[in-house]
Amino acid sequence: MSRPAVPGFLRHLWLLWGLRFDIGLNRGPGKSRLFAVAAFVASSAPGVVLGLFFFALMRLRPVAESNVWPFFILNLLCFVTFSVWVTWPLLSAGVDDHSELSRYAAFPISPWRLLIASTVASLFEPRALVFYAPLTGAALGYASMYRMAMPWLAVVLYGLFAMLCAAWSRVALYAVINVLRAKRSAEIMGGGMLAFLVGASFIPPIDTSWLTAVGEAGVAALDMTLIIQAAVALGNVPPGFFGDGLGQLAWGRPRVAMMEAAGLFFFAAMGMAVAYALLLRFHRQAGRGGPREKDAGDSNPFARTRTRFSTLVTREALDLWRNPRARLLASVPFILAILLKLLSGRDLFVFILGKSADAWLMGGLCIYGAVVIASTFSQNTFGYDGQGFAVFLAAPMELADVLRAKNGVQAAGALGMAALVALFYRAYFGFGTGVDVACAMVAVVALLPVLLAAGNFLSLYFPVKFHASLKRRDRVPLTASMLGILAASAGCMPFGQALRLAGKDGPTWQTVAMVALAAVLNVALYRGLLPLALRLLEQRREVVLRAVTRE
């Protein structure tokens, strides 16, 4: 009997897109494909707005008639797009794509072909369409104002730039996965953040004195030499080769543009080679039994728990503490704060927001830290310990206590995270009053009830499987993600509205009282919805169990 033919690359790509579609939207029997496609289109809709905005910006007369601003905007967007793509696995703790690595391990596909197919497939996800939209709009606007020497080369440059971003995004993704898979992931992430903090302290901050000149005399007072130098510097790094290449085509220098295309191809190929090495390392690690837990010895954390509920709380707290993804998420706000100081971002916010800048920044970082901890686990509260949920069903206890314990631990973790971020901001930046700290913490208290209430219902209607050992993780459905974003936005509204009313004069204790009142109302909302969530949990317990323990 002859061996069946190995599927071709296009077939593998089609299967991979189908897998991502089914997992990403959590499609199953009885679920509408039309609704899934509508959710995909809706999640990509912001890209249309961003693209049209930057298209119009490049055609604006002051920009179009300048010899500097179009070049600067293009190169800046290239750098920002590349940076967002590469850091996205860290900012979102994006370990989603490793599910396909494990699922395809037994299939007739080589790791190299899987890497290529996965990289190409990542270019057509909703987030990719949104991330590339500003640069796409700006490039089309620039091309519409200038006659390109070789238009087809502009398309080639765009494709090579997209591959450059996708390739180095794979590098970051596989690096994150390998770190989370490591036996000492906590030590590696902690040491890396400490090294990053120490290294950033030796880099001089960016000079922002030009903000004062702009504020006093307008944009006309801005020294264009600074903009020219920035545009040239951005064009000399690999992501800027695309913007510089478009400029060379507009100036009638196709040979230079071809050299830029060769540079993009070289660095994209380098990224693919590094990503392939990291992918092979992950495959070797995934073939093992996984990191062994250290022997606890005589230390038993449950020996001192006196009630069943306190035992549940202790168990949930230990699960959250030992979860590798929680460790990664916990480091993100601190890294963002370090980058903010390194880039002198606070000076820009002070210029725009006045005395309210520290409240906005501190509150934003605290809210982000609380959101990534609370929403990540509350929106899949039964999934990240699927086997544990099966034990709960067999144990002589009420599931209501399980849900209350999970909510309590998730809220405590988010509040603790926010408090650490606020203290770090105050110590690291040296700014921020007691009112700013109080405003940030009360904003988190107002946010958490909304996140937990939404998370309870999303966990019941969109349960997904998650292996903490990173052997496989199903994606949270796109619909659930969008609903979670809406819940987080609603929870942040009291904080945003109160600071808008405060204006540039800075928040007062009256601002804190306004947010605190909203927090009380949100807590009452959570307590009012909790009985309904508990009733639904009893009704859907078997559905949830099948979803989070399926193989």
Per-residue pLDDT tens digits for 322-348: 777 777 778 788 888 887 887 777 887
Average pLDDT over residues 6-15: 70
What confidence score (pLDDT) does residue 470 get? 44
**Contact of 210 with 226, CB cutoff 8 Å:** yes
The pTM score is 0.71
Is residue 305 assigned to a domain? no
pLDDT at 532: 92
Which residues have C-beta within 8 Å of that of residue 538, sequence separation ≥ 6?
399
Residue at a domain's end among 264, 286, 308: 286
Residue 76 pLDDT greater than 80, yes or no:
yes
Residue 392: C-alpha distances to residues 140, 389, 396, 397, 466 (Å):
56, 5, 8, 7, 17
To the nearest 10 degrees (0 to 180), the angle between helices 210-217 and 345-353 is: 20
Is residue 340 domain-resident? Answer: yes
Q: Which residue has the higher pLDDT, 509 or 185?
A: 509
Which pLDDT value is given to residue 441?
94
pLDDT at 185: 65
Domain of 173 in residue numbering reads as: 13-23+40-186+218-286
The pLDDT confidence band at residue 296, using thresholds 50, 70 and 90, is: very low
Helices (H) and strands (E) counted in the chain, each on its own, are 23, 0
Instruction: Please compute the mean of the pLDDT values over residues 97-105 and round it to a whole number.
Output: 56
Same domain, 342 and 277: no
Q: Which of 356-365, 396-405, 459-468 has the highest mean pLDDT?
A: 356-365
Asked if the structure places residue 212 within a domain, the reply is: no
Give the residue with greater pLDDT, 462 vs 518. 518
pLDDT on residue 205: 63
Q: Which of 282-286, 337-341, 369-373, 535-539 has the lowest mean pLDDT?
A: 282-286
Residues 174 and 280 in one domain: yes
Least confident of 41-55, 178-192, 445-459: 178-192
| More confident site: 510 or 61 | 510
Residues 261 and 345 in one domain: no
Which DSSP state fits 300?
-
Query: In the structure, what pLDDT confidence band is assigned to residue 23 with cuts at 50, 70 and 90?
Result: low
Q: Is the same domain home to 474 and 376?
A: yes
How many independent structural domains does the chain possess?
2
Q: Per-residue pLDDT tens for 276-291?
A: 898 888 777 665 544 4
In a domain, 296, yes or no: no
Within a domain: residue 51?
Answer: yes
Question: 232 and 331 share a domain?
Answer: no
Structure tokens at 179: 């770190």
**Is the pLDDT assigned to residue 22 strictly greater than 80?**
no
Which of 244-248, 310-314, 324-328 shows the lowest per-residue confidence on average (mean pLDDT)?
Answer: 324-328
Is 308 a domain residue? no
Sign of the four-CA dihedral 383, 389, 393, 399 = negative
Chain centre distance of CA 353: 25
Mean pLDDT of 84-94: 71
Question: Is the same domain home to 269 and 391?
Answer: no
Same domain, yes or no: 332 and 255: no
What is residue 290's predicted lDDT score, i.e. its pLDDT? 46
pLDDT band at 494 (very low <50, low <70, confident <90, very high): very high
Same domain for 399 and 506? yes
Does one domain contain both 274 and 402?
Answer: no
Q: Is residue 193 part of a domain?
A: no
Question: Whole-angstrom Cα distance, residue 519 to residue 507?
Answer: 17
d(CA 462, CA 454): 11
Q: Give the model's pLDDT for residue 203.
A: 64
What are the tens digits of pLDDT across the range 409-440?
989 989 998 999 999 999 888 888 899 999 99
Of 237, 264, 286, the one marking the end of a domain is 286
My answer on whether 338 and 279 are in the same domain is no
* Nearest-10 crossing angle of helices 357-378, 324-342: 160
| 28 occurs within a structural domain | no
Residue 297 pLDDT exceeds 60:
no
Separation CA 402–CA 308 (nearest Å): 10
Residues 47 and 124 in one domain: yes
Q: Are 333 and 243 found together in one domain?
A: no
Instruction: Please identify, among 234, 257, 286, the residue that sits at the C-terminal boundary of a domain.
Output: 286
